[in-house]
Amino acid sequence: MNAYKILVVTAVTAEAEAIRPGLDSDLIVVGAVGVGPAAAAAGTARLLATGNYRAVISAGIAGGFPGRAPVGGTVLATRSIAADLGAETPDGFLPVEELGFGSSVLECDPALVKALSEALPAALVGDVLTLSTVTGTQATADRLAARFPQAVAEAMEGYGVASAALGAGVPFAELRTISNPVGPRDRAAWRLADAFAALRAAAPALTTLL
Ligand SMILES: O=C(O)c1cccc(C(=O)CC[C@H]2O[C@@H](n3cnc4c(=O)[nH]cnc43)[C@H](O)[C@@H]2O)c1
């Protein structure tokens, strides 16, 4: 059977509910699977097993690296990178590839990225980091910005969704809108309304993938 549906995976229900009204097709399935890479991978694998999908998109809000992605902006990943998968050493962080255990970097499908960036011409394109811990200090933000000069944003699910997509042989992309700067924790200052408005505005672009 030909693969025709698109799966959009969010962490929380509010993200899924921001996306659904912008879709005029029941060929796009939006599911909220929980926060973090493990929930994202398990949830995506479960949803992929229920249908025949041609693409999987990890979507939701994210932190933006200051000077790279502004709050309220929209970001498309070229790569989803598990930034905290590896080993800490006194001399710095060793990514999992340097330990000989696979890859912390998963490439997004170039055709999906191209189609989405044509539909969202204002979107910034760059690496999106996946972390199990939201960055909350300037020191961590500076370390990540230096380790990943092409990173525009961090979130908590992309690499997990991408891992499940890779396992199922389905092309993957990541779409994020920015709710807060990556840096010292100030949860009260997160501009959720701006990020959700941008997510609602970006949703119709997903229908161009059909
Ligand atoms: O408090 C609320 O009302 C609320 C409503 C919807 C979603 C949330 C979330 O906290 C979603 C968590 C989700 O956000 C991503 N995220 C956002 N900013 C960052 C960040 O700076 N670093 C890492 N992740 C971030 C993440 O993917 C979480 O799944 C709250």
Q: Is-contact 63 155, C-beta < 8 A?
A: yes
For ligand 1, whether the C-beta of 62 sits within 6 Å is: yes
pTM for the model stands at 0.97
Asked whether residue 16 carries a pLDDT value surpassing 80, the answer given is yes
Q: Is-contact 178 76, C-beta < 8 A?
A: no
ipTM: 0.94
Residue 66, CB-side half-sphere exposure with 13 Å CA sphere: 8
CA of 48 to the centre of ligand 1 (A): 23
For ligand 1, whether the C-beta of 10 sits within 6 Å is: no
The mean pLDDT of 27-36, rounded to a whole number, is 98
Question: What are the distances in angstroms from CA 108 to CA 18, 53, 112, 170?
Answer: 23, 16, 8, 11
Domain 5-209 has CATH 3.40.50.1580: yes
Angle between helices 37-48 and 158-168 (to 10 degrees): 30
Residue range 117-162, pLDDT digits in tens: 999 999 999 999 999 999 999 999 999 999 999 999 999 999 999 9
For ligand 1, whether the C-beta of 63 sits within 6 Å is: yes
d(CA 210, CA 208): 5
